């Protein structure tokens, strides 16, 4: 791999650049998360799975990005797909590379926007993490977190290192997708709605806590959501659970804490004891000022990591 020049963006400056927002031309019907290409399984496809080609631009703060970095670890693709992290702050220029989390190791870009611009000149949609980049084609492949996660889980098997876990096994896909239809709106998005005030927030809060209750019961009977093995469903739920008490519930306005649901809380710690979850987590990147972080290292009593 050839070295790239290190370029950092100048510090965030909202006064000079303005705030980040999307400017869509009136009547523009194109998706704002525009890149939805898939990784293929053989060379006849546009973006075939190959080692050393794909790079994930991630953000430590971002639950959607963390889904993909956890799957990269679980699928044992550390030497196959590379990852780097944007800075956690942005102005109108969008996500950027600064000293905080290091340079863009692939292109040496200062702004993530440069990757989109290189792919589609004049790009005016969302500049988001995760973004999947192809070093072979020099383009953004996808910024659709769900498809990136599934492709990482399913397309690179032959290149995986030892200990790879199949997080999207054929036999469980329908159930994983069903869980996503349920937990996506209520939990992954619902936490933010529940953190607000007024009747819509109250409704979101009731629904969220009812779901936590239900999960707490389900998790008495099984170690993970779908049995004895970690799947994509656990990854999707967990990225929200790990942020819950230090972000949406930081002021404990939703509930006294995740520990109000002992099985759910032990399940979340059980996952955290797994290296894939631990090495992809940086609490400082998503902890609200003054929030109290519960003890994620407390014994969980649900079996040994990797078992
Ligand atoms: N909302 C995105 C998921 C990814 C996402 O929202 N990432 C956030 C950071 S956690 C981001 O980069 N947002 C910038 C943007 O959407 O313009 C999607 O629906 O695909």
**C-alpha of residue 100 to centroid of ligand 1, in Å:** 20
The pair of structure tokens assigned to 84 is 């780097």
Among residues 132, 159, 186, the one where a domain terminates is 159
Which is nearest to 36 in space by CA: 118, 112, 153, 131?
Answer: 131
- Same domain for 189 and 140, yes or no, is no
Q: How many domains does the chain have?
A: 2
**Does 203 reside within a domain?**
yes
Segment 5-13 mean pLDDT: 91
Q: Are 277 and 238 in contact (CB under 8 A)?
A: yes
79 in the same domain as 153? yes
- Domain co-membership, 27 together with 94: yes
pLDDT of residue 234: 98
What CATH number is attached to the domain comprising 126? 3.40.30.10
In this predicted structure, the answer to whether residue 66 has a pLDDT above a threshold of 50 is yes
Distance between Cα 113 and ligand 1 center (Å): 13
Distance from Cα 305 to the centre of ligand 1, integer Å: 31
Alpha helices (runs of H) in the chain, residue ranges in sequence order = 14-17, 63-74, 113-119, 145-154, 173-183, 190-194, 199-221, 232-244, 262-272, 275-278
Tell me the two tokens of residue 68: 């993909």
Residue 79 shares a structural domain with residue 119: yes
Quick check: 26 pLDDT over 80? yes
Q: Is 94's pLDDT higher than 90? A: yes
Residue 296 lies in a domain: no
pLDDT confidence of residue 22: 85
Does any ligand 1 atom lie closer than 6 A to the CB of residue 33? yes
The model's pLDDT over 96-116, given as tens digits with 9 standing for 90+, comes to: 999 999 999 999 999 999 999
Confidence at residue 304, expressed as pLDDT on a 0 to 100 scale? 63
Residues 263 and 178 in one domain: yes
DSSP string, 124-180: -S---SSEEEETTTTEEEE--HHHHHHHHHHS-GGG--TT---SS-GGGHHHHHHHH
* Mean model confidence pLDDT for the chain: 95
Q: Measuring from atom 6 of ligand 1, which residue has the nearest CA?
A: 128
Are 155 and 24 part of one and the same domain?
yes
Q: In this structure, what CATH number is given to the domain that contains residue 267? A: 1.20.1050.10
Shortest-distance atom of ligand 1 to CA 125? 17
Instruction: State whether 212 and 146 are in the same domain.
Output: no
pLDDT tens per residue across span 240-258: 999 999 999 999 999 999 9
- Of 159, 188, 210, the residue that ends a domain is 159
Residue matched to tokens 């656990």: 234
Question: If you average pLDDT over residues 228-235, what whole number do you get?
Answer: 97
pLDDT of 188-209, one tens digit each? 999 999 999 999 999 999 999 9
Band (307; pLDDT cuts 50, 70, 90): very low
Q: Assess whether 208 and 86 both reside in one domain.
A: no
Q: Are 134 and 71 in the same domain?
A: yes
The pLDDT value recorded for residue 37 is: 93
- 121 part of a folded domain: yes
Q: What is the pLDDT of residue 104?
A: 97
Higher-confidence position of 79 and 307 = 79
Specify whether 132 is located in the same domain as 204: no
Is residue 196 in a domain?
yes
What is the chain's Cα-based Rg? 20
Write out the residue range of the structural domain in which residue 101 sits: 14-159
Atom 9 of ligand 1, residue of closest alpha carbon: 62
Q: How far is CA 101 from CA 50, 78, 95, 150, 220, in A?
A: 26, 18, 12, 26, 39
Assess if residue 304 is contained within a domain: no
Question: Residue 275's pLDDT is what?
Answer: 97
The answer to whether residue 303 sits within a structural domain is: no
Query: Best of 31, 56, 59, 64 to mutate for ligand 1, by most ligand atoms within 8 A of CB?
Result: 64
Q: For residue 65, what pLDDT band results from cuts at 50, 70 and 90?
A: very high
pLDDT score of 63 more than 90 = yes
Query: Are 142 and 18 in a shared domain?
Result: yes
Bridge partners of 36, per DSSP, are 142
Residue 129 lies in a domain: yes
pLDDT at res. 2? 59
pLDDT higher than threshold 50 for residue 306: no
Is the residue at 298 inside a domain?
no
198 and 150 share one domain: no
Find out whether the beta carbon of 64 lies less than 6 Å from any atom of ligand 1: yes
pLDDT at 206: 98
235 has pLDDT over 60: yes
The span from the first CA to the last CA of the chain, in angstroms, equals: 36
Which ligand 1 atom is at minimum distance from the Cα of 64? 4
pLDDT score recorded for residue 303? 79
Structure tokens at 242: 């790990």
- The reported pLDDT for the residue numbered 5 is 72
């Amino acid at each position: 791999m050839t070295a790239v020049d290190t370029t950092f963006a100048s510090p965030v400056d909202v006064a000079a650049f303005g705030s980040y927002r999307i400017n869509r031309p009136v009547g523009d019907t194109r998706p704002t998360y525009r890149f939805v290409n898939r990784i293929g399984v053989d060379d006849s496809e546009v973006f075939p799975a190959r080692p050393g080609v794909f790079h994930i631009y991630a953000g430590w703060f971002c639950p959607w990005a963390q889904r993909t970095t956890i799957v990269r670890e679980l699928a044992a693709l550390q030497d196959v797909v590379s990852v780097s992290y944007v800075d956690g702050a942005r102005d109108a220029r969008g996500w950027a590379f600064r000293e905080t989390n290091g340079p863009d190791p692939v292109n040496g870009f200062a702004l993530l926007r440069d990757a989109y611009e290189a792919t589609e000149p004049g790009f005016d949609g969302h500049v988001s993490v995760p973004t999947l980049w192809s070093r072979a084609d020099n383009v953004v492949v996808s910024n659709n977190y769900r498809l990136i996660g599934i492709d990482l889980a399913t397309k690179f098997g032959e290149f995986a290192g030892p200990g790879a876990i199949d997080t999207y096994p054929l036999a469980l896909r329908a159930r994983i997708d069903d869980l996503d239809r349920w937990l996506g709106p209520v939990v992954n998005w619902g936490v933010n709605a529940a953190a607000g005030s007024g009747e819509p927030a109250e409704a979101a809060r009731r629904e969220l806590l009812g779901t936590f209750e239900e999960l707490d019961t389900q998790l008495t009977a099984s170690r993970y959501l779908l049995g004895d093995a970690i799947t994509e469903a656990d990854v999707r739920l967990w990225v929200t659970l790990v942020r819950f008490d230090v972000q949406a519930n930081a002021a404990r306005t939703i509930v006294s804490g995740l520990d109000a649901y002992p099985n759910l809380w032990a399940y979340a710690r059980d996952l955290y004891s797994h290296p894939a979850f631990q090495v992809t987590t940086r609490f400082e990147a998503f902890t609200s000022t003054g929030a109290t972080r519960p003890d994620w290292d407390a014994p969980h009593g649900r079996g040994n990591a990797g078992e």
